[in-house]
């Protein structure tokens, strides 16, 4: 079972990630002191900034953007907290957990959303696995990208709603690119696969349910956030960023094949289409569904989106 981390453990874990990646006190040399330093990672829900950069949307909205591409989202939160980054991407649960630990992050734009009509992740097992439903995962191992993260929450909600014993499930932290092979070779019994890895693995795995659906029919997956102190002093830049990022997300949702070309260029994903669906406005209800599920399953204390989501004023 997964347990809610303390503030010290949360900070220590994210800080350790920075050290392990050799990033130290700076992620990279900024283009200039006036540039807004922005980072995404290597999964679709954290890639809107790459679309905005590629399409020239930051420049079109008058923003001097310094966009960094990171392999994972893990170092982004501590870099934003330290001021090395001004704006970062992360999943909604991660930012809600930071807020619960009194880290003054503010969500300045909604990013990827889950819509039950369009599957974007699933809990999968090997094609020949005897596991027939999420209930059968009691006593089994399940791979997730981050312990105490959104994928783990989704898996817990799915297993619980199916009547399984979540307390006996062993969650294993593993990068999404490694999950399929780990399942097929029997190193884990199941795993959460996001798109496009889900479609790429369809010949070797099968879905036993959507954890995203178990949380809600419509939820917010990822968000863009900044320190409250930076936002207070840079509201115009934040507005320009939000306008550009919403335009980028709208373009990617409407042009999945073209978006896939950008993903290949920036993060080497080689799929014929992208799958992410992005919001064009703040979505408090979609965020709150995630926070409520997180509180129910003790991933974080009860938090309320309205307390740390910027309304643009």
Q: Please compute, for residue 219, the number of CA atoms within 13 A of its CA located in the half-sphere on the CB side.
A: 29
Split at pLDDT 50, 70, 90, the class of 23 is very low
Strand ranges (E), 213-293: 218-220, 222-227
Judgement on whether residues 142 and 254 belong to the same structural domain of the protein: no
Q: Is residue 311 part of a domain?
A: no
Judgement on whether residues 153 and 291 belong to the same structural domain of the protein: no
Q: Is residue 284 part of a domain?
A: yes
Residue 22 has pLDDT above 80, yes or no: no
Q: How high is the pLDDT of residue 19?
A: 36
Residues 6+ apart with CB under 8 A from 233: none
Q: Which of 165, 196, 215 is the last residue of a domain?
A: 215
The whole-angstrom separation of Cα 291 and Cα 285 is 10
Average pLDDT in the chain? 90
How many domains is the chain partitioned into structurally? 2
Q: How high is the pLDDT of residue 134?
A: 98
Judgement on whether residues 181 and 110 belong to the same structural domain of the protein: no
Q: Is residue 310 part of a domain?
A: no
Residues 268, 243, 215, 300: is their CA dihedral positive or negative? positive
The dihedrals phi and psi of 68, each to the nearest 5 degrees, come to -110, 145
Look up the domain containing 32 and give its range: 7-115+218-302
The whole-angstrom separation of Cα 100 and Cα 290 is 14
Report the share of the chain in percent with pLDDT over 70: 89
Minimum mean pLDDT range among 8-22, 49-63, 131-145, 226-240: 8-22
Over residues 14-28, mean pLDDT: 37
CA distances from 25 to 22, 32, 80, 256 (A): 9, 17, 11, 36
How much helix, strand and coil, in percent to the nearest 5, is found in the chain?
Answer: 45, 20, 35
Residues 6+ apart with CB under 8 A from 93: 149, 150, 153, 290, 291, 294, 299, 300
Judgement on whether residues 140 and 259 belong to the same structural domain of the protein: no
Q: How high is the pLDDT of residue 11?
A: 52
Q: Which residue has the tokens 């591409």?
A: 69
Q: How far is CA 218 from the centre of its chain?
A: 15
Q: Is residue 307 part of a domain?
A: no
The whole-angstrom separation of Cα 51 and Cα 54 is 5
245 burial level (CB within 10 Å; 0-12, 13-18, 19+): buried
Judgement on whether residues 89 and 125 belong to the same structural domain of the protein: no
Q: How high is the pLDDT of residue 245?
A: 98
Q: Is residue 312 part of a domain?
A: no
Over residues 47-59, mean pLDDT: 97
Q: Which residue has the tokens 């939000």?
A: 242
Judgement on whether residues 296 and 284 belong to the same structural domain of the protein: yes
Q: Which of 182, 215, 248 is the last residue of a domain?
A: 215
Judgement on whether residues 168 and 262 belong to the same structural domain of the protein: no
Q: Which of 184, 215, 246 is the last residue of a domain?
A: 215
Q: How far is CA 214 from the centre of its chain?
A: 17
CATH of the domain at 68: 3.40.190.10
Judgement on whether residues 170 and 192 belong to the same structural domain of the protein: yes
Judgement on whether residues 81 and 107 belong to the same structural domain of the protein: yes
Judgement on whether residues 67 and 191 belong to the same structural domain of the protein: no
The dihedrals phi and psi of 36, each to the nearest 5 degrees, come to -85, 115
Q: How high is the pLDDT of residue 135?
A: 97
State the CB neighbour count (10 A cutoff) for residue 37. Answer: 21
Q: How high is the pLDDT of residue 2?
A: 44
Judgement on whether residues 150 and 80 belong to the same structural domain of the protein: no
Model confidence pLDDT, tens digit, residues 244-301:
999 999 999 999 999 999 999 999 888 899 999 999 999 999 999 999 999 999 999 9
Q: Is residue 45 part of a domain?
A: yes
| Residue with the larger pLDDT of the pair 238 and 200 | 238
Judgement on whether residues 191 and 248 belong to the same structural domain of the protein: no
Q: Is residue 230 part of a domain?
A: yes
Q: Is residue 313 part of a domain?
A: no
């Amino acid at each position: 079972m997964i347990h809610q981390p303390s503030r010290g453990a949360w900070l220590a874990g994210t800080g350790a990630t920075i050290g392990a990646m050799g990033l130290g006190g700076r992620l990279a040399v900024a283009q200039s002191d006036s540039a807004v330093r922005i980072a995404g990672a290597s999964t679709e829900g954290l890639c809107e900034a790459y679309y905005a950069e590629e399409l020239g949307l930051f420049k079109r909205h008058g923003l001097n953007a310094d966009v960094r591409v990171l392999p994972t989202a893990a170092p982004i939160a501590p870099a934003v907290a330290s001021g090395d980054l001004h704006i970062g991407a992360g999943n909604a649960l991660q930012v809600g957990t930071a807020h619960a630990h009194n880290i003054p992050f503010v969500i300045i734009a909604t990013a990827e959303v889950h819509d039950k009509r369009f599957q974007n992740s699933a809990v999968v097992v090997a094609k020949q696995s005897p596991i027939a439903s999420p209930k059968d995962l009691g006593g089994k191992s399940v791979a997730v990208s981050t312990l105490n993260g959104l994928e783990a929450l989704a898996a817990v909600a799915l297993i619980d709603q199916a009547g399984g014993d979540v307390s006996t499930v062993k969650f294993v932290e593993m990068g999404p690119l490694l999950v399929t092979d780990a399942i097929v070779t029997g190193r884990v019994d199941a795993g959460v696969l996001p798109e496009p890895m889900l479609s790429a693995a369809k010949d070797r795995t099968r879905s036993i349910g959507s954890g995203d659906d178990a949380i809600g029919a419509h939820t917010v997956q990822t968000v863009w956030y900044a320190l409250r102190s930076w936002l207070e002093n840079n509201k115009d830049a934040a507005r320009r960023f939000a306008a550009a990022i919403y335009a980028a997300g709208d373009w990617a949702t409407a042009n999945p094949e073209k978006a896939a070309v950008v993903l290949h260029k920036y993060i080497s994903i080689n799929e014929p289409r992208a799958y992410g669906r992005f919001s064009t406005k703040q979505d408090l209800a979609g965020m709150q569904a995630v926070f409520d599920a997180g509180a129910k399953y003790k991933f974080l204390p009860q938090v309320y989106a309205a307390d740390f989501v910027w309304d643009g004023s």
